Chains A and B, each alone.
Chain A
Amino acid sequence: GENVEQHPSTLSVQEGDSAVIKCTYSDSASNYFPWYKQELGKRPQLIIDIRSNVGEKKDQRIAVTLNKTAKHFSLHITETQPEDSAVYFCAAGSGGGADGLTFGKGTHLIIQP
């Protein structure tokens, strides 16, 4: 089955700086890669996703890049703000959507004022 590795487990950046979280996956059949943000005590919420026919996708301060050859994808957050502090999870799946998603272990992003 799919195996998703996520790094780093904790990331501390100064407010205003950029943050990058990286994930690798093992199954070359995976074609859908969502990112979820989970604030303390709250539900995971989808923030951005990318499908395998696209190399990059951007939504305001958030972007995701995908390298299918190397089987890795990354989340980029620019101009970080205090409200970006949360745990971020990557996931990979071959169902084209929500089915069969395997999640990484999460990255705790801390924005230092």
Chain B
Amino acid sequence: EAGVVQSPRYKIIEKKQPVAFWCNPISGHNTLYWYLQNLGQGPELLIRYENEEAVDDSQLPKDRFSAERLKGVDSTLKIQPAELGDSAVYLCASSASGTSLSFGPGTRLTVL
């Protein structure tokens, strides 16, 4: 089966600019996650979707971050405006009921 797909793989922007990341989960996986991975750290959950509903967004900085999963399949994560501290790898993952996470390759964001 095809894995989780993310784009772009790399993004370099200047601070205060907006940026968006896209994720396509594994077919049939109803649950989609966005994780943040800082250098030398483990992934940290930003938001979890069950189909099109955000069921856990407690760790999402809502003043600048937003996400959507309109048709319960693809998802977009947006940052506006980006800050220097947002430089990190943004990982998308998906799962089916009772299974563990399948991660995408990530988007490496550099904010200058």
Contact = CB atoms under 8 A, between A and B. Distances in A.
A83 interface: no
Interface string A96-112: 11111101111000000
Q: Determine the main DSSP class of B at the interface with A.
A: loop
B42 A43 contact: no
Nearest to B9: A41
Contact of A97 (B43, B56, B98): B98
Interface string B72-100: 00000000000000000001010101111
A43 B106 contact: yes
Contacts of A106: 40-42
B56 to A, nearest CB: 8
Chain A, interface size: which category? 20 to 34
A62 B79 CA distance: 39
Interface of A: 4, 6, 32, 34, 36, 42-46, 49, 89, 91, 96-101, 103-106
Interface of B: 3-4, 31, 33, 40-45, 48, 56, 91, 93, 95, 97-106
